[in-house]
Amino acid sequence: MAKATAPSMPTPRQIQDAFEAVRALHPGARIVSVGPDGVKFDYADGTAAPGQATTTDKRAPIAWT
């Protein structure tokens, strides 16, 4: 039986593409970590995207309408 392969890290190009996409939606976004599970971002002002209301409970979903 073949051994399962370990998850791979994102390539520099994938990281850059993800960063550009997130920055287009939220200019204050910063990369927090990069790992096999992907790129994680932090939003300096606590909102998910410009113009959306923030909630006090970070686990609460934000409406996309």
How far is residue 46's CA from residue 34's CA, in Å, rounded to a whole number? 20
pLDDT tens per residue, range 23-49: 999 888 999 999 998 999 998 765 555
Pairing mode, if any, of strands 29-35 and 38-43? antiparallel
H or E element: which one contains 43?
Answer: strand 38-43
- In this prediction, residues 2-29 reach a mean pLDDT of 89
Taking CA atoms, 34 is separated from 10, 24, 46, 61, in Å, by 8, 19, 20, 24
What pTM did the predictor assign?
0.58
Angle at 36 between CA 19 and CA 12, to 5 degrees: 40
